[in-house]
Structure 1
Amino acid sequence: MNRVLAGLAPVLLGGTAAARRLGTDDTRVRTPLTVSRRIAVVSVGGGTGCTTTVAALAGLLARRRRGPVLAVDAAGGQAGLLRRCGSEAPGEPDVEAEREAAAIRRTARTAADARQGLARSVSGLHLLDLTEAGRARVPGQVWGAQVGPVARFFDLVLTDWGTRDAEESATLAAESHLTVVVGRAAPASAAAAATRALELAGSGPGESVLVLLADVAGTGAPTAAGLRAELRTRLPARPERVGNPVAPDRDDDPVLVLPFDRALAGAEGLDSRRSSARTRAAHLAAAAAVVDRVAGRIVPPVRPPATSSATTLATTGAAAGAPVRARRGVVS
């Protein structure tokens, strides 16, 4: 266990159980991948911390894994993924240089071509901003043209799509190995996130979804417990596993809670050293869950019944079919 994890363990739960869990999660994060994997991160509404979540997970994955990781900003929001990740690219953008770099990436034949002109964070994360001034959304074809030619040169490609409605999310999930749905731990937002997960399960090549809840009000544990039981009942069963999972009791958890940490709120260049041990452990567990799903440890589930998205999540008392207002869209 490295010095970062060793520093976390005594703080968390004060014993060897915490250290063992951290070590297990770190092993899961480092699982090798045979081919590049695409991860779409969508929010069910504003204020969920979607960009912060992508920045934290992508930065952690870039630090802990051997293969290169690419984070893409397609959200078009005010937070700015590159700013949150701590891009090393200084000064005003050189428009002509960016065009030349984009042209090289579109015909990339080597890893050097694929990284041409990309910003870089201090964690080693590669960054690509698809947003433009005055544009409130990033169309799907822009992602395809800019990211499609270079995706194979990265171990993992995480895209922050921001707030998307159910139809847009389904389009994104169809092109992704994993869809991460981000909501708040408040009952209505959590129910909307769980409903979206049920709608998307089985729609992508990896046929996998994961719900992450931002616990702003400190109510995440009971909210997540109810949704977890609900989703485990209603999501298609995963009777078989591939390989030899290092954490068979944890790698199929459909709902994880990320504590709200004021030290990270609005910060430029997320630095885990400013966050609490609890926050760092939660991010590590979430990153491990992401890798578990795209690494193929769990056999992809059978497609869920078409009616699964129309029922009510009794554990929260919120209407599962409530529409989510979209700020941005995607054109397939």
Structure 2
Amino acid sequence: MSLAAAAIAPALLGGAADRQAELEAADRAIRAPLALSRRIGFAQLAGGVGASTTVAAVAALIAVRRRSPVLAVDAAAGPRSLRWQAGLGTTAPAPVDARRTRPQSQADALAGLPLTDTGVAVLDVHGDDDRAATETAWAEHVAPLARFCPVVCTDWGVRGAGADLGGIAAASSTVCVVTRADRGALERALAAAGAVRTLPNRPDVVVAAVDVGRTGGRLPRGFGAGVGVPVVRVPFEPARRAAEPVRGADCSAATRAALIRLAAAVMAPAGGVR
């Protein structure tokens, strides 16, 4: 069972009325029609947080709920970036299909891209090495395709809090800062998110607090709410450290529920800690 397929079962949320209402609200946010392409950039300020796993899971959820392909862009360094997390291995991407250089339809825009069983098309924008891709390389590959792809999720990997996030913000309608859930890391992420909100294009900003060190429970409920940036807590998931990409059956119900909330938050951000 895929992560997305497992996540959409209401029973996984315990069957309680409030959980059911939350799921229905998240479902509406994910499925809502979009006036413009939603470009969602995921970045982490330090390594080892699980941003690539998070991008793969969220892109799959959105693709399943919208019943439409999602373009996922791999711009992060390292062997376990988005392409690997999506179950497509680490082999070099195929040569650029000529139809993607001047696309006239979504079929042209996705031509030659590997497609996962959940409907995620993965575009690798790295050069000949495995270093993180630049914003310029991203724009060169993605700009011709964006108008045919309602949702574009980019794994930017580890980026600095200054100019790096500024470049990502310029390429995004929503920036999701993925961080550890402990106090110090979350404070830094909230500070970076607050700065991103003030940039000229004023992107929406969400913080995904992954409880890698299982320290998130020590934070008081509502921690960071004064910044006005949604914070979605994602529980620690041992399956993230497996030798194979994470499957839905390997994740806890709490993790799947958190990913639903995160998918809804990046599609329709609103203030609050969840």
Partner in structure 2 of residue 8 of structure 1: 12
Match of 1:114 among 97, 109, 121: 109
Aligned-pair Cα RMSD in Å:
2.4
Q: Deviations over 1:24-50 (max 9, x none)?
A: 222221111122111111111011111
Aligned counterparts of 1:48 and 1:114: Cα–Cα separation in 2: 31
1:283 aligns with 2:262: no
Contact 2:86 2:116 in 1 (8 A): yes
1:27 aligns with 2:31: no
Aligned counterparts of 1:92 and 1:285: Cα–Cα separation in 2: 32
Partner in structure 2 of residue 273 of structure 1: 249
Contact 1:106 1:145 in 2 (8 A): no
Structure 1 outlier segments of 4+, above 4 Å: 90-95
Letter in 1 for 2:61: L
Using the size of structure 2 for normalisation, the TM-score is: 0.88
Aligned counterparts of 1:73 and 1:141: Cα–Cα separation in 2: 14
Q: Per the alignment, in what secondary structure is the counterpart of residue 186 of structure 2?
A: helix
Partner in structure 1 of residue 69 of structure 2: 68
1:237-316 alignment, distance < 5 Å: 254-266=230-242, 268-293=244-269
Aligned counterparts of 1:7 and 1:94: Cα–Cα separation in 2: 38
How many Å apart are 1:164 and its aligned residue? 1.0
Identity %: 35
Letter in 2 for 1:200: V
Q: Deviations over 1:224-281 (max 9, x none)?
A: 745423313xxxxxxxxxxxxxxxxxxxx61111111112334644322221111110
Q: 1:34 to 1:224 in 2, by over 3 A?
A: farther
Using the size of structure 1 for normalisation, the TM-score is: 0.73
1:312-331 alignment, distance < 5 Å: none
How many Å apart are 1:17 and its aligned residue? 2.1
1:29-108 alignment, distance < 5 Å: 29-87=30-88, 98-99=95-96, 101=97, 103-108=98-103
Contact 2:38 2:267 in 1 (8 A): no
Aligned counterparts of 2:111 and 2:42: Cα–Cα separation in 1: 24
Single out whichever of 155-164 and 212-221 deviates more from structure 2: 212-221
Partner in structure 1 of residue 194 of structure 2: 198
How many Å apart are 1:221 and its aligned residue? 4.1
How many Å apart are 1:207 and its aligned residue? 2.7
Partner in structure 2 of residue 326 of structure 1: none
Contact 1:194 1:227 in 2 (8 A): no
Letter in 2 for 1:174: A
Match of 1:179 among 172, 175, 190: 175
Partner in structure 2 of residue 240 of structure 1: none
How many Å apart are 1:285 and its aligned residue? 0.5
Partner in structure 2 of residue 126 of structure 1: 121
Letter in 1 for 2:268: D
- 5+ residue gaps, structure 1: 233-252, 300-332
Partner in structure 1 of residue 209 of structure 2: 213
Q: Deviations over 1:173-203 (max 9, x none)?
A: 0221111111101222111111110110132
How many Å apart are 1:104 and its aligned residue? 2.3
> Max radius of gyration: which structure?
1
Q: Deviations over 1:140-172 (max 9, x none)?
A: 111111111001111110111111111111121
How many Å apart are 1:51 and its aligned residue? 0.6
Contact 2:85 2:245 in 1 (8 A): yes
Contact 2:51 2:178 in 1 (8 A): yes
- 5+ residue gaps, structure 2: none
Q: Per the alignment, in what secondary structure is the counterpart of residue 39 of structure 1?
A: strand
